[in-house]
Every structure is written in structure tokens, then in C-alpha cells.
Structure 1
Amino acid sequence: MSQPSKWWWGLIPLAVVWIVATIFTGQSINSDLGNRSTSALGTSVQNPAFSVAGRDVSVSGTVFSPDEASQVASTVDQVWGVRKVLVDTKEPDVAKPFNWGIIHEGSSVVLTGNVPNPTTRDKIVSAAKTAFSGAEIKDEMQYASGAPTGYDGAVQFGLAQLAGLEKGSVSLSDAALGISGTAATRDAYDAITTALKALPQGLTLAKTDITAPAPVVAAASPTPAPAATSTSTTMATATAVTPALAPSSFSFDALRDAGKLTLSGSYSDDDAHSKIIDAAKSLFSSDEISDELKAAPGAPDGFAAAALGGLNALSRLAKGSFSLSGTDAKLSGEALYNGAVKSIQDSFAAAIPEGFKAAPAEIAVSAPAPAVDAPNCQSLLNTILSKSKINFDTGKARISAVSSGVLDTIVATIGRCPGNAVEVSGHTDSSGDEAANIALSEQRAKAVVAYLTDAGVPASRLTAIGLGSSRPVASNDTDEGKALNRRIEFSVK
């Protein structure tokens, strides 16, 4: 005979056991589905995240191609127990320009910039470890879409050249290669310079500054005592001097044409020569420089200052010449746009020091280049900035005078895509307070916009933003990396 009053109390613990079992079993099933889905995907998704509801699985994370995204759903759907798959993966943001860099100094090698996928990243790191055996490899690369055709080959080529340098750096901006440093040996110097004359297909040489190793100088043998000679011969030798050139016959010439700067004539001393070559490398960073100068006495006072002033003005011409004949200075050539003519004439006259006579600069305007669409305009601007840099006074937003040439080139380039807006962005390294960095980067971007509008670019086409140190293209742990991060970029809309 049933007696509910005695047994129904036993249902309560059974119900509790059933509820607990259901909860833990559900959690176990969800965990199992998630674990098996993760295992099935392997490394095809970066930073995968799963959400399991019953037998439905949601997947998010980063993939590196549309094909990988479609494979995710197919792979997880084949996991036993999964009923439905929801995929919310995405590819990395597009980097424009697509930058990459490597810096070798001492026992440290730093990889920076953009890399398109994990497979390529592993190849680059492995190649760096092989090329720089024993060095500490710091991988600071970031994933991005938009790698140019031939990226892998360009990186491997750059790595191979850097391996021949005692210290230095290699950079890529899309397909533009830059390399600088000191060669470890003379053979390495010769091998690198030869390799740079036969670049991989599609790769262009934007900037090169490779120094040969200092030659080994053998110890000098003791100089034997001179043989006895007559008094008259000794006196003649002691008083012989090289005749000095008259100031009017001392000449210096600089010719810029077809991407080449040729320096000829005379220089006064090693210090002046060094200043002239350093200025030429800075002002004409995109040009081949041919140094045919020879030391000679008889330079007029102020020669070096006059030469540097003339080179600065010449850097703003598409092609032209500057000459010093004694104290007479002349400049002629073609400006890149109408608005630059008077500015160049005035700056040339002001740059020639007292004691020299500057003839009125004879400047025409070069024929305008054909119009281009936005992508090609962007590519042209990227190429300009991969070869040259807009410089500012340290810690300030005042544009350095040596940057007038590159800015004039940018003005002419923006003029080739008149239907497009252009965003000018300023960037800094990570030194100091970030709020101050953002303010400084914005002020510098605005200074560039002011130069462009003064040159005739409509203000309605231009905007200026400051991004501080938020978008580095190189490591901030080295001076070279910081220098790369301090930059101005242009984005054609």
C-alpha cells in the first residue's frame, strides 16, 4: 500500500542531483566542443575565441585570406557534436604604405613594420637568426594586409645585404628599398654595391648610404736620414711653395639633371669639403651624387657658406645649375611650379653671404607632368618620402630650410591629382609625454599644410592631424628607429 507521506521527501535530493548533473554535463559538453574545435583549427586562426551554446559554436579571430575564413566554418562544422557554426573572423587592417624594417647594431637585431601572415613571419625570423647567428632577434612586426607583390623576396634580399654590414638598417616602403650602414669588409662592400645594381624585379632603390670599411694603414717605415747636400739645394727645397690661385680663378660648380648631382671644381679644405658632401646627401637624398671636387688654395673668404647656400636653392629646382667663380654666384634652372620661382630667387639672394655677388637667378618653370589618379598619386608621394624626409627644428614645429626641396616636389605631385583631398598626418617617437607628442605632431602637420597652401594648393583639399607615437614604423628602442618614427605622411582620399 502506497504511503506518499513517507517517500516523497526522497524526491528532493534526486531533483538536486539531476539539476547539478545537468549543469556540469552541459558545461562539460560545451568545454569539450570548444576544445575539439580549437584543436581542429590548429594555427589557421590567430587569437581564436569560441562561444558554445548547446551544440552551436561561434568562432571569432584573425585570418589572413578570404580562403582561410571560408575554411574555418568547414573545419569546425566537421567536429563531431557541432550542429551549427557561426563565423565572425576578419583579416588584419590594410597598411598603406606597407612598411617593413630591420636594424642591426651590436648584438641586437630588431624586426619592425608590417608582415602579412604567420608563415611569412616565421620565414623572416628564421632567416634573421641564420644571417645573424648569435644575435638577439627582437620581433616587433605587426600583422597587416596589403603587402605588395614580391614582398617576401624583397625582405629576403634586404636581409642578405644587411648581413654584409657591420651595423646598419634596411627599410621597405611598399616596393621602395632603403639601406644604410658600414660594410664589414671591403669584399662585402663590393658585393652589396654590385647587388644593388641588379635588384629583384619590381623593387626600386629609394635610398642608399653604405660606407666602406676604413682601410688598414701599414705602419710607416723609419725615414732614412737625408743624404748630405749643398747648402743652396737645401734652401731651395725649403722655400718652394705651391702657387696660390687668385680668388677670381677659384671655381665651384653643381649640376642637377636626370636624377644626378655632379659637383666639380675646387674646395678650400677638408672641413669645407665634408660640409658640402653632407649637405648634398641631405638636400639631394633621392639623387645620385658624383663628387669630382679637388682641393685647391685661393678660396675666397666665406666660400663654404656660399656653396651651401647655392646648393640649398638648387635643391628646389627640377633641374639646373649653380656656380661660383671667385666671388660671383649664379643660379639657373627650372622650378617645379609657378609659385616657387620668386621664393627660390629671394632665398638664393639671401643665402649668398656678404662679400659675394649673386646674379639674379634665371628660373623658368618645368613642363607640368601628366595627371594621375588617387592610387598613383599616393604611390608617388610614398616614393618621395621613402627617399627624402621633411625635417623640423628639434622639439618644434618649424620646418627646416633643408626640406624646401622635398616639399616643392610634394606640391607638384599633389598638383597632379587635383580632384582628391589629402590628409597630412604628423608622427613622433615615444619619448616624452604622449599628450605633448600628439600636440607637437599636429602642429607639424599644420606647418606642412601651411607650406602647401602658401605654394598654391587649395586649403579645402588639405587636412592636418597629429597621431603622436601611436603608429610607429620602427622600434623606439634605438636612435635609428626613433628617427624613422618622427615623420610626416600623406594620405590621398
Structure 2
Amino acid sequence: MKLTPLLIAGSLFFHISTCAQANPATARQSEDQGKVVASGSVPDEASRAAILARLRELYGTQNVVDRLEVGGVVPPPNWSENMTKILTPNLKQVHKGQLQVSGTQVALKGNVANEALRQQVVSEIATSLNPTYSIDNGLIVAAGEAQGVLDKTLSNRVVEFESGAATLTPAGRAILDEMGGAIKQIGTPKIQLIGHTDSQGNRQANVALSLARANTVRNYLIDKGIPAETLSASGAGPDQPVASNDTVEGRAKNRRIEFRLAGR
């Protein structure tokens, strides 16, 4: 069973790219716009009826499109009952995502407003199912909230390096350990690691040093389990100060690594 709720009452709850990004001129795409679309194969008519009834209860009859097919699959024990259990009201808090179920494999993707809701949605599904089911949690915290988590974890601290080098100090590694945990909490989105320096010394050398430090941070986080493809590194050198370079304190603030969600 594959559930791909789309646009309901003006708010994006679930989204599937083949419906939202294709040419809207076709009749089917027009019909699906703003609807909850249930598609895929179910074992029998009773399962189909139970799933559709639950969706209509949650989203309203007029907002559910039935594209389910009956037959051709052999379900695990109590499959239909389990499917209706995982269709909870909290799913309406997931945006731009989809729920996919294949036998005892459950995959949930999409955006949620905060980390607490991310954990709650998946925990609710997990506790409603027996241990034979596995759940792939692909939920991520929405961009604004996710950036807030990163900023709060860094908490105006500076990732420290040895003077004039791209070698992390123990204090710098400790901060990155915390940042790695925060990145995993928000679903490992794509993040830009931007190195910055103060204005002392040669600008070209500072740009190179800032890039080397950003790459050191990237490699450290990859070693901590953050997927390499989600991290990019760049060096801004002294060009984007956040404080005056005329004081020791200001220069210290400018020598920093910035963690920015891609696209922001």
C-alpha cells in the first residue's frame, strides 16, 4: 500500500512529485490536486474498504482519491488491521511527504514543524505495530526550525582550530560532536559548511585557510556518520565578518565555521 496525501484545505500535508510537478493539464493530475491519493495494491476488498474508510475519517470523504487495486499481494498476518492503526491524526502534521508500506516495511518521508513532532509521529506508528515491522524514518524538521536547532546547538560558540592551521583543537572536536548529533536529529538535511577568518594577513591565504578548515569539519562529521553527500564546504575568508576586526574579541568571533541549511 502506498499513501500519498497531497493538498488538503489549502495546506500541504503530503506530496508526491509525479502529481505536483507534472503538467497540470491532464485530467487525472487536475483531479488529484488537493486530494489524498491512496494508490498501490492491497490483498482484498476488505482491506481496501478499511483503509479508505480510515482516510475518509481523517481527511474527509471529498478529499480522498481511491487508486487502490485489489489482489496480487500476500499480506502478513493482521495486515489490514495494522494499516488502519498507523493512519493516525498526526500524519496530518507531515508536509510534503509520503507513507509507503510494503509488507512489513514502513517508510515515512516529509517535513514536520519540530523535532518533538518528528519523534512523536514515528513513535506512534512504532508502538501500534508488532516488532516484525520495520520503520524507515525519513521525516525531517522543516527548514526554519532545523536552522534554529543548528544555531541553538552552536550557541554562538566558535569551532576552534590550532593557530594558522586546519587542525581541530579538543574543544573544536567537542563542539562538532554536538553538532553531529543535532544534524542527525533534524534528519541529516543538506548543509553548507562555510569557513571564515579575520582580516589579519593575506586575503588569498585566509580564503584558502577558511576552505581547508571547512573541509576539516566536513571530514570530521562524515567520520561521525553524517552522509558525505549532505555536506558541502566553502571558504569565505575575511569577507563576511560578524564583528569588528579592530579588537581581539571581534577577530575571534570572525574566525568561525557557519552551518547553513542549503538553499537558505
- Using structure 2 for the length normalisation, give the TM-score: 0.47
Larger RCO, structures 1/2 (Cα 8 Å, 6+ apart): 2
